[in-house]
């Protein structure tokens, strides 16, 4: 029986992990030797096969997004692998293949996860692909489907159409019969987004996305906007919304401040909301995992929901993975592989 503070004999005491030497560029990511973490009550220890690379990892590397209190300082918000140790009632999960959402610690050979934030990976599903699911799936589901409560027949606007978030939003919208318009930074990326399933893709460098959304929707606007840009995009997004539309902010990459015309919000009954997922409680994220199991996971089991995969890098080459993300040329998810 696994007990808190003890580890099974086949789990080593030390592991290779990626630390942040000092805030900065990709070169700040360096392999280090770290103690293998020990699971507490209702936590599991995952022997990592792969870890997803996400924009919050880049921000943490830059010193702009510190981990929440109690979380590992090792970057990495999602992994897939096999549970090799557990605490409390989670012992029943030992031996299972899972993917998991983490508060941190994913760039490592072993990672801790709350048991409630683990999702089972089907036997015929590639664990490297599974590692690219949790962060974007939890984010898009909790914001677009829960906070913006989109339903069949709605049309939504999502910025960053070829990002991990954008490609996941496209996939989920197609599964639930929701129309989706995305923005991208080049004609080539627009074609990639449409090939992945977007109904429309707008090149924001050469087209006015507000005018294009109005044209595409016949002047009606969209029922929801999922925005990670912030700044001056907010008032422009508001112009894209239909009456009773919902705007969800999940990041502010272009700036934290915006000026809006309040009467437009009032007269059209608009809702402006937003969230950050990483600091939310284990209880909340476990509830999201439960809902994903009930509503979405059958699509994973059927092979109908898979992440858009970009490049795979060995764990020791995390700096190269971040350099690719910084360059902005990727389509979908960048993943680190272990072993």
103 membership: H or E segment, kind and range: none
Instruction: For residues 318-334, give the mean pLDDT.
Output: 97
Say whether pLDDT at 318 is over 70.
yes
Instruction: For residues 42-59, give the mean pLDDT.
Output: 97
Quick: pLDDT tens for 245-279: 999 999 999 999 999 999 999 999 999 999 999 99
Say whether pLDDT at 2 is over 70.
no
Write down the pLDDT at residue 9. 65
pTM of the model: 0.95
Write down the pLDDT at residue 55. 95
Write down the pLDDT at residue 137. 98
Write down the pLDDT at residue 339. 79
Instruction: For residues 109-121, give the mean pLDDT.
Output: 98
45, 163, 164: which is closest to 110 by C-alpha? 45
Instruction: For residues 280-309, give the mean pLDDT.
Output: 98
Instruction: For residues 136-141, give the mean pLDDT.
Output: 98
* Rounded-to-integer distance, Cα 102 and Cα 13, Å: 21
For the record, the structure tokens of 286 come out as 């476990």
Is residue 20 a contact partner of residue 34, using CB atoms and an 8 Å limit?
A: no
* Rounded-to-integer distance, Cα 1 and Cα 47, Å: 18
How many C-beta neighbours within 10 Å does residue 202 have?
25
Under the banding of pLDDT at 50, 70 and 90, the label for residue 325 is: very high
Say whether pLDDT at 1 is over 60.
no
Q: What percent of the chain has pLDDT over 70?
A: 97
Write down the pLDDT at residue 233. 97
Write down the pLDDT at residue 171. 98
What is the pLDDT of the chain when averaged over all its residues?
96
Q: List Cα–Cα distances, 122 to 76, 98, 297, 298, 304, in angstroms.
A: 22, 9, 10, 10, 12
154, 161, 158: which is closest to 196 by C-alpha? 161
Quick: pLDDT tens for 57-114: 999 999 999 999 999 999 999 999 999 999 998 999 999 999 999 999 999 999 999 9
Contacts of 303 (CB under 8 A, 6+ apart): 124, 125
């Amino acid at each position: 029986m696994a007990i808190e503070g003890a580890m099974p004999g086949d789990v080593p005491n030390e592991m290779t992990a990626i630390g942040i030497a000092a805030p900065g560029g990709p070169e700040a990511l360096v392999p280090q030797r770290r103690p293998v973490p020990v699971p507490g009550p209702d936590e599991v220890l995952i022997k990592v096969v792969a870890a997803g690379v996400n924009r919050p990892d880049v921000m943490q590397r830059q010193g702009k997004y510190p981990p929440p209190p109690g979380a590992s300082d090792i970057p990495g918000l999602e992994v897939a692998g096999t549970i090799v140790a557990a605490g409390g009632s989670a012992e029943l999960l030992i031996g299972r293949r899972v993917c998991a959402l983490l508060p941190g610690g994913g760039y490592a050979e072993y990672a801790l996860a709350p048991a409630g934030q683990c999702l089972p990976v089907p036997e015929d599903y590639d664990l490297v692909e599974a590692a690219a699911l949790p962060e974007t799936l939890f984010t898009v589901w909790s914001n677009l489907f829960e906070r913006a409560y989109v339903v069949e027949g709605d049309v939504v606007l999502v910025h960053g159409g070829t990002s991990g978030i954008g490609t996941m939003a496209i996939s989920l919208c197609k599964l639930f019969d929701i129309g989706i318009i995305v923005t991208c930074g080049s004609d080539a990326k627009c074609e990639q987004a449409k090939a992945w399933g977007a109904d429309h893709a707008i090149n924001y460098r050469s087209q006015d996305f507000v005018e294009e959304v109005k044209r595409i929707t016949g002047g009606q606007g969209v029922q929801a906007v999922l925005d990670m840009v912030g700044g001056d995009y907010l008032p422009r997004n508001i112009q894209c919304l239909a009456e009773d539309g919902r705007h969800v902010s999940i990041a502010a990459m272009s700036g934290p401040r915006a000026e809006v015309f309040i009467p437009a919000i009032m007269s059209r009954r608009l809702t402006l909301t937003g969230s950050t997922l990483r600091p939310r409680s284990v209880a909340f994220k476990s509830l999201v995992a439960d809902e994903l199991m009930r509503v979405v996971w059958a699509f994973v089991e059927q092979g109908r929901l898979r992440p858009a995969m970009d490049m795979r890098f060995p764990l020791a080459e995390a700096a190269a993975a971040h350099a690719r993300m910084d360059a902005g040329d990727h389509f979908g998810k960048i993943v680190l592989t272990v072993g």
